[in-house]
Amino acid sequence: MMNQQWQDGTWQSADGLSLHYRDYPCTDPDSAARPPILCLPGLTRNARDFEPVAEAFAGKWRVIAVDFRGRGDSDYARDTATYVPATYVADIAALLEQARLERVITIGTSLGGLVSVMLANAFPDRIAGMVINDIGPVIEPAGLARIREYVGQGRSFPTWMHAARYLKELNGAAFPDYTIGDWLVQAKRLMTLGNGGRIVLDYDMRIAEPFMAAEAAGGSTPEVDLWPAFRSLPMVPRLVVRGELSDILAASTLKAMERKIAGLETVTVPRTGHAPTLGEPAARAAIARLLENVA
């Protein structure tokens, strides 16, 4: 585990929730003018997911890693209908204003990548660079089906080792080279100690309700054409990271993105599924290259 220090920060959503972020400071006086790196996590994840990013870049850069509403140390929503990307975008826009972040470099994983794309379309002048981690304008049905099988399924475990073995059983195909130590690290990022003394998933199980409502209404989530949003991204340094074994972002979609989005850099992380941790050497090197090109 990393020993990079951070401060806890909070901001307020429009509907009165207290939302949390980790703030890893820039300690290099020569780098103080750089825009901060704003990290946006995946559907069931939280700020701890970006420990590898902070370990690699904090100090030279300010790194802010958020907990979306209903995750980590952020308040759970009173209305589960707000567990949708448009609300997360509004929440992040509120953070930009309240923390006085004029421009940011976004690093978004999966859901967080979609939120970053929507944010960039709404506020292009606020974006200095973008890393989109294992998500694109076409989301593979098999991956969505896999996520629906586990999201919102409350589980608890007597020990961290039990939790790690559960994650290995659930995601072992996506990370074939992980040791049990790696799974323990992942468990401590995704889970927390619950009130009853057992290890529990660190998110509101009700985040699954929008999925269930869509299925009840029509059998599946309605398809939305995301290509216009991706093709309208501001002309700043942009990187898409794909896990070689990803069931969310297909290799063919990544190729299409390279053809259709001018100036896009891509990197594929070998022997990794959805989603890379961004601590992998290939991902870390690609992010470092992007940061060198941020104006």
Q: What is the secondary structure of 147-205 as a DSSP string?
A: HHHHTT---EESSHHHHHHHHHHHHGGG-TT--HHHHHHHHHHHEEE-TTSSEEESB-G
Neighbours of 135 (CB within 10 A): 30
Considering only CA atoms, which of 198, 197, 167 is closest in space to residue 180?
167
Neighbours of 63 (CB within 10 A): 28
Residue 286: predicted pLDDT:
98
Domains and CATH numbers, the chain: 7-139+223-292 (3.40.50.1820)
Judge whether residue 189 has pLDDT over 90. yes
Its pTM stands at 0.95
Judge whether residue 222 has pLDDT over 70. no
- pLDDT (average), residues 43-72: 98
87, 79 contact by CB (below 8 A)? no
Interatomic CA distance for residues 139 and 153, integer angstroms: 22
For 40-49, write each residue's pLDDT tens digit.
Answer: 999 999 999 9
Residue 218: predicted pLDDT:
54
Q: What SS3 class is residue 235?
A: coil
> Confidence class of residue 217 from pLDDT cuts 50, 70 and 90?
low
> Confidence class of residue 257 from pLDDT cuts 50, 70 and 90?
very high
> Confidence class of residue 221 from pLDDT cuts 50, 70 and 90?
very low
CA dihedral (148, 149, 151, 154) positive or negative:
positive
For a pLDDT cut of 90, what percent of the chain falls above it? 90
Q: Report DSSP state, residue 293.
A: T
Furthest-apart CA pair in the chain: how many Å? Answer: 55
Amino acid at 7: Q
Considering only CA atoms, which of 182, 133, 177 is closest in space to residue 270?
177
Considering only CA atoms, which of 71, 53, 67, 31 is closest in space to residue 107?
53
Judge whether residue 215 has pLDDT over 90. no
Judge whether residue 220 has pLDDT over 50. no
Interatomic CA distance for residues 129 and 37, integer angstroms: 9
Mean pLDDT score of the chain, rounded to an integer? 94
Neighbours of 76 (CB within 10 A): 15
Judge whether residue 68 has pLDDT over 70. yes
For 1-38, write each residue's pLDDT tens digit.
Answer: 444 699 999 999 999 999 999 999 999 999 989 999 99
| Selected residue with higher pLDDT from 210 and 60 | 60
- pLDDT (average), residues 175-189: 98
The reply to whether omega before 286 is within 30° of 0 (cis) is: no
For tokens 């972040």, name the residue.
101
Interatomic CA distance for residues 54 and 4, integer angstroms: 7
For 130-163, write each residue's pLDDT tens digit.
Answer: 999 999 999 999 999 999 889 999 899 999 999 9
| CA–centroid distance for 141 within its chain | 19
For the ranges 60-69, 88-97, 128-137, 139-148, the lowest mean pLDDT is seen at: 139-148
Q: Report DSSP state, residue 103.
A: S
Residue 154: predicted pLDDT:
87
Q: What are the φ and ψ backbone dihedral angles of 153, each rounded to 5 degrees?
A: -90, 95
Residue 273: predicted pLDDT:
98
Alpha carbon separation from 71 to 40, 99, 145, 159, 221 (Å, rounded): 12, 20, 22, 21, 22
